[in-house]
Amino acid sequence: MKNNTLIIKWVLLCTAAGFSLCMARATLAGQAETMPAASNLKRYEDKLIGFSIEYDAKKLIRDPGLTGPFVFRRESVEGIPGIGITAGPYPVGTALTDTADLISNSLPRLAPGSIVHQVKNQQLITLGDGSTANYFEVDWNVGGSDLIAVFLAAQKDDRLIVFGAVDNRDGSMAYLTKMVKSLRIDVEVDMTALRARGYGKDGHFVRTDSPAFTLEYPKAFQNRSLQSNQIFRAGIPQGSPSMSIAISALPPGGDAHERFKVLAERYANALKYIGSDVKIISQNQIKKYPPFDAYQIQIAWRFRTQFTLATIVHIIEKENQAIVLAGHTIYGIDELTDIFQTINLNP
C-alpha cells in the first residue's frame, strides 16, 4: 500500500451540543498492527480528572502535545496509530448511549469533506473498575483515505471522558480496542493539585499555585472544555456571555506597556483562527488592580460569520506572570468587567 499524508481532525472537544475536532498530523503507514504485548503496556494516571489508561508504549512513543481539550495524547512516529483522551462537562440531559451520535455526527462538520461510512458495534460495556461506558467503532474516510476509529465515552461526576484511537483501514481494530477498554475512572481526584492549578465550581474559582488568586463568577455559568493554556472556562448555556482564565508568560524585554501590548495583540490575532473581521477597539494600561500592573484590550469580531461579539481582556501581572481574564458577549462588557474585578490577588 502506497504511503499517503493527510491532516486528521479527530480530537473530541466536548460542548453542550457535542464535540468538535482539533488537528493532528498523520502519515498512513499501511501496516497491520498486532495486539500490544502486556510487557509493552504502560499505565498513565491522571489525578486531576480521576482516570487511568494503558497504552502501547513501545509503538506509541511520540507526544504531539496537548491542544484544545486533550488531557493525554500519544501516536507512532509515522503519526498513526494514535490515541487521545479528552474531558469536558457532561452534556446535560444526554444519555450515555447518545454520545456515539454526538461524536460521529461532528466528524464531517469539523473535518470538511470527510465521510463517516458507518458507526458500528455500539454497546454499553463494563470497565475494569465496574463503571459503565459507551463503546463504538467508526469507519471514516478523510481526504480519500479510509480510517478506522474506536471510541469509549464514560461519565465521571459532571465530566464526560472520551478515549479515542485511530488507525488506517489495514490496521487492527482489536489493537485499538484493547487500549481504549483499559480506561478506568475510579482514580481518586487530588483536590489539592486541582486547586493548585485552578478550580472553579458554584461561582467560586481558586488557584493556589503562583500566581495565586480567587475570583467570583455567576453561579449560572457552566464549566466548559479548556482550550490552549486556559485553566478555567465557563459561560451560560445559551453561549453568551462567557469567560476564561489563562496563565501566560510575559514577553521578555521592553517596558511594562510594551510587554502587555504584545501579549494583548497575540490574543487578538488568535481570534482570527476562529472568526473574522477582528478589530481592536481600544487598548491601554489600567489601574483597576492596585498595586498590580494591568492592561485592557477590547475587541470586536465575528464568530463564524454568524454574529458580532465583543471581547474584553484584562491582563494582570503578578509574580512575573500574566493572569489573562477574557470575556465574550453580545451584550455590554460591563457585566464581564464586574466579574473580573471580583478577583482577590492576595488570598
Range(s) within the chain of domains with CATH label 3.40.1000.10: 4-180, 191-340
- CB neighbour burial string for 104-123, b if at least 16 within 10 angstroms, e if fewer: bebbbebbeebebeebeebe
Assigned CATH topology for domain 4-180: Protein Transport Mog1p; Chain A (3.40.1000)
Distance linking the first and last C-alpha atoms of the chain: 61
Identify the pLDDT of residue 8.
31
Q: What is the CA radius of gyration of the chain?
A: 21
List per-residue pLDDT tens for the chain, 347 residues long.
322 222 233 322 322 222 333 323 333 333 445 667 766 889 999 998 999 999 999 999 998 876 667 789 999 998 889 999 988 888 878 899 999 998 788 777 666 777 888 899 999 999 999 999 999 998 888 778 788 999 999 999 888 999 999 998 888 889 999 999 999 999 999 999 989 999 999 999 999 999 999 999 999 998 887 777 889 999 988 778 999 999 999 888 778 888 899 999 999 998 888 788 899 999 999 999 999 999 999 999 988 667 788 999 999 999 999 999 999 998 889 999 999 999 999 99
Of 328, 343, 255, 253, nearest to 297 (Cα)? 328
Residues 6+ positions from 249 with CB-CB distance below 8 Å? 321, 322
Q: Is 4 helix (H, G, I), strand (E, B) or coil?
A: strand
One-letter amino acid of 170: D
127 contacts 183 by C-beta, under 8 angstroms: yes
Q: Look up the CATH architecture of domain 191-340.
A: 3-Layer(aba) Sandwich (3.40)
